[in-house]
Structure 1
Amino acid sequence: MKASIRSNGRRRVRSGAILFALAALTLPATSVAEVNEVQIARGFAIPHLPIMIIEHDKLLEKHARAAGLGDIKVVYSQIGGGSVMNDALISGTLSFGVGGPPPMLLLWDKTRSGIQVKGVCAEATMPLFLNTRNPNLKSVRDLSEKDKIAVGAVKVSIQAVLLQMAAAKEFGPSEFTRFDPLTVGMNSPDATAALRSGIGEVNTNFSLPPFQYAELKVPGIHMLASSNDIMGGPHTFSMVYTTAKFHDANPKIYQAFLAAIKEAIDLINRDKSGVARTYIEMTRSKESVADIVAILDDPQVQFTMTPTGTLKFADFMVRIGSLKNKPASWKDYFFEEIHGLPGS
């Protein structure tokens, strides 16, 4: 009798174990938790206004909560220069970086078999002005060893690549490096201060809004070229990018970021006066609200998630050997979430 009871008990234990195992197999897989802290870089000029609005209005936190992620921490850092931004992304200290198309394309090309950096979306389409205080310069053809040109970063920034494109256009494809020895890496506030001071070796600045407009108000400073002329049309100036690792591991945060930047851009296009005040508050700019609104009203200044003219940068960089891999489409180096936009 006791032996029978022990035998029945063992059968019940085995049956229970089997049922538990079968139940476990039918349970949905537990999803890996998304990060609760997001690091975002932003620039310090008008092209990065969408990120500034996201920060000021806490839009990423808002959309993260709406996605069921609760309260997340968002840390913003101000980094100047595409090469510095790229180093931060590679090291993993940034979730989202911002910069011009050339620095992002270099990183996309470099990381295709690794962390796979791609574009998230564009921020702004706008021209950059090549301004100078040298009265002897009438066009880029007149630039010589007597001139020093401030760019975001030597050889890799959007300004540096635009100068290479201008040299190839004016002097032939083999002369694309003609202006490289004239360039000096400087952030935009320092570069505009150097140009406006009238002293020092930097007498030319490949500038950006709002600095380029303020420079042209200074007697003796004039514009040599616009990037739109060099590119043959409008082009994306600033964009957001990240790694495939972050994109794939944090789908809800990624979608929340896209929703946040869309809301920020809608606000910029709807309330330019209010946004101008926010910009002045966050940057401590000495520009007036009217000055900032005038820039935002410029038809050449557009805030949009749609990439414009980025493939022109890629094609040029392939021709000069900066990129080893030739993209067939702009969609090759942007994540699929924006492939429905009419990009280029």
Structure 2
Amino acid sequence: MKHGKKVIAVMLILIMTLSLAACGGGDETADGKTKLTIAHQYGIAYAPLEVMKQQKLIEKHYDGVEVEWSTLNSGSAINEGFLSGDIDVGAMGVGPAVTGVTSGVPYKICSNMSAQPHKIMTNNPNIKSLKDITDEKIALVNIGSIQHILLAMAAKEQLGDAHALDENIAAMAHPDGMSSLISGSVDCHLTTSPYVFKEAEEDGITEVEALESVWPSGNSFIVAVASTDLQENNPELYDAVVAALAEAIDYINNNTAEAAEMLCEAEDVDAATMEKWLTDKDCVYSTETKGVMDMANFMAEEGFLENEGPKDFSDLAFDNVKGN
């Protein structure tokens, strides 16, 4: 059984064993406020959420809400949080979002968030392309992650087999993958911003040309998902989340210097460096998805989905979402 199917099999067991009790922002805090839990991962791809948090934009659009923020290591961990009823809104890569919806996790995409540069970085000067990789380890965030899907897309194009490099994967959170690449404990790291920017500054670290042709610049990387319970049973709070995210994205795009000042501390860089990252041509913040169905179709064709793939974009996203 391929790695992708193993992940889905575990998820299906979780679906059968975990409570699917509603999580949708309906729980009240001790002081009578509505509690909303939002989960995300690491990196500047999630910058709009930091803006939302610091500027209290959800609170601006919805009176009486208490927002709890949680940082997790992977999209699969966020999926488990939705299954257990602990998360109302999440942000993750397109791949895990498609996996979640088609496996029965009770959410849909509520907005796009960002496109970001993805690169395979290496400390081995002999690795120029995927054809040069034999038994070398490739660190990426998780089996079934969008990075895994991108590696599979490139492997299908260049090696003729989407799963040719599955056994080379070493699952690590982005920061750990970067440390392992720099220390030499792994040969390659498939990662995104800001780690690709940081790794490019290191002596002896170069890029393996592999991904641009299979996932063009501007295609969606991170999407926001919301529980179906939240959307159906508290539509005003759902709309507030969507509006707050759109406002945060607009702020980053139109007040980039100020946003850089806000975001630089989390990545331990100065504001000028953060602004340079935010204005990179491949770093795009938008509410409109791009390429989601392309990835979903690839996942269905190459055995990453245990169940049938989506027939239409509406199977994956709520009606307010624009894109494909």
Assess if the C-alpha contact under 8 Å between 1:41 and 1:97 holds in 2: yes
Paired with 1:331 and 1:125, the residues of 2 have a C-alpha distance of 21
Pair 330,88 (structure 1): closer, same or farther in 2 beyond 3 Å:
same
By how many angstroms is 1:331 displaced? 2.6
Assess if the C-alpha contact under 8 Å between 2:82 and 2:106 holds in 1: no
Q: Which residue among 75, 84, 87 is the counterpart of 2:77?
A: 84
Q: Which residue among 152, 160, 172 is the counterpart of 1:186?
A: 172
In structure 2, the residue matched to 1:301 is 283
Paired with 2:41 and 2:52, the residues of 1 have a C-alpha distance of 13
In structure 2, the residue matched to 1:18 is none
Paired with 2:304 and 2:26, the residues of 1 have a C-alpha distance of 35
In structure 2, the residue matched to 1:291 is 273
1:1-344 aligned within 5 A: 34-35=26-27, 36-65=34-63, 71-111=64-104, 116-145=106-135, 147-154=136-143, 156-172=144-160, 175-197=161-183, 199-200=184-185, 202-225=186-209, 227-281=211-265, 283=266, 285-323=267-305, 324-338=307-321, 341=322, 343-344=323-324
Assess if the C-alpha contact under 8 Å between 1:228 and 1:234 holds in 2: no
SS at match of 1:231: coil
SS at match of 1:268: helix
Assess if the C-alpha contact under 8 Å between 1:127 and 1:235 holds in 2: no
By how many angstroms is 1:157 displaced? 0.4
SS at match of 2:221: strand
Residues 226-256 of structure 1 show CA distances to partners (whole Å, capped at 9, x for unaligned) of 5332224531111111221221111000000
Which aligned segments of 4 or more residues in structure 1 are displaced greater than 4 angstroms?
none
Return the letter of the residue paired with 1:312: D
Pair 333,188 (structure 1): closer, same or farther in 2 beyond 3 Å:
same
By how many angstroms is 1:34 displaced? 4.6
SS at match of 1:90: helix
Paired with 2:212 and 2:108, the residues of 1 have a C-alpha distance of 24
Q: CA RMSD in A?
A: 1.5
TM-score computed with the length of structure 2 as normaliser: 0.87
Return the letter of the residue paired with 2:125: P
Number of residues of Structure 1 aligned to a counterpart in Structure 2: 293
Assess if the C-alpha contact under 8 Å between 1:42 and 1:52 holds in 2: no
SS at match of 2:38: strand
Return the letter of the residue paired with 2:235: P
Assess if the C-alpha contact under 8 Å between 2:115 and 2:282 holds in 1: yes
By how many angstroms is 1:321 displaced? 2.3
Percent sequence identity is 27
SS at match of 2:192: coil
SS at match of 1:77: strand
SS at match of 1:261: helix
Paired with 2:204 and 2:221, the residues of 1 have a C-alpha distance of 27
By how many angstroms is 1:290 displaced? 1.4
